[in-house]
Amino acid sequence: MTVIVRDLRPDVRTDVEGFARVRMLALPFFLITPDSLVHDLTHAHPESHYRPLVAEEGGEIIGSAQLGIVHDSADPGMGYLNVYIHPERTRRGAGSLLVRAAEQHLAAHGAKKVFAWVLDEPGNRLFAERHGYRSSRSAHFLRLDLANGTLPPLGELPPGVELRTGADFAADPRPLFELDAETMSDEPSDIAYEFTDYEAWLAESWNHPLVSHELTSVAVVDGRPAAFSVARMDGGTRYGTVMTGTARALRGRGLAKLAKNDSLHRARAAGFTEAFTGNDTGNGPMLAINKWFGYEVCATEVRHVRELG
């Protein structure tokens, strides 16, 4: 049968379910749902030219791609592309068709470089190299067994520190945006970001359907958020953290550990059985914190980049 590539139709339930299924099979350590896909598409910044694609064979979605322009980069012309194929539907040409269509779209919107994450497996690395992509940095996916593992005990809070939830900031989450912007700017990255758009952060991040304000923990010092651990959940028993960080002036006091430990304990009490997160392989401090919690590496992705024309 012939493989075709087309746009994801967010208003067709079988489309978003098929896209999400491929992603979950190919990347089972990353939380995604059909509703989160629709949210990402409908709330994407216009300048990102975000475009999800599907590869279809005989009416079945067998591949997916998410691509766009990094509109908030300090360097113009930065694009991204992430392709995932159903593990039992490989070697049908779907990946190459998705890459070709994606690169055409990105080039048409001014992309000069394209960055892609590729699972660190021989076939995937070879595929990327054959399409002109060269490897750069890498990152680990980490898993923690919440059901059977042992979390560090909850200790006494240091003087002047209190723990709150993200829900406590529902009326005014701007202090969390400011903390997120500061911590994100210090994250290992091959693209320089300008994280300044509060309204975009609200729409794309804080009000994302997977984010749990109730399970997000915030360490507060002198009335201001000093560290936080942002929690996500997929509607089942899987929990994830997408960002854990501390304000620069307050680092070295164990505040990120406090926040994340609080969130993990509350997630376990709420019935979540698995916890997932991810770290750049060069982010030693955060890797050490996650090892302390008992997380183990379950997969590695390698960042690849290609110069366009």
* Confidence at 17, pLDDT banded by 50, 70, 90: very high
What is the tens place of the pLDDT at every residue in 221-267? 999 999 999 999 999 999 999 999 999 999 999 999 999 999 999 99
Domains of the chain: 3-111 (3.40.630.30), 144-300 (3.40.630.30)
CA 146 to chain CA mean position, Å? 20
pLDDT at residue 1, as a whole number? 77
Is the predicted pLDDT of residue 72 greater than 90, yes or no? no
What is the 3-state secondary structure of 199-238? HHHHHHHHCCCCEEEEEEEEEEECCEEEEEEEEEECCCCE
Query: What angle is formed at CA 209 by the lines to CA 203 and CA 212, rounded to 5 degrees?
Result: 105
Per-chain mean pLDDT for the chain: 94
* Confidence at 73, pLDDT banded by 50, 70, 90: confident
- Provide the whole-model pTM: 0.92
What is the tens place of the pLDDT at every residue in 182-220? 998 777 777 766 778 899 999 999 999 999 999 999 999
pLDDT at residue 191, as a whole number? 74
Identify residue 166 by its one-letter amino acid code.
Answer: G
Question: Residue 51: beta bridge partners?
Answer: 67
Mean pLDDT, range 278-290, rounded to an integer: 91
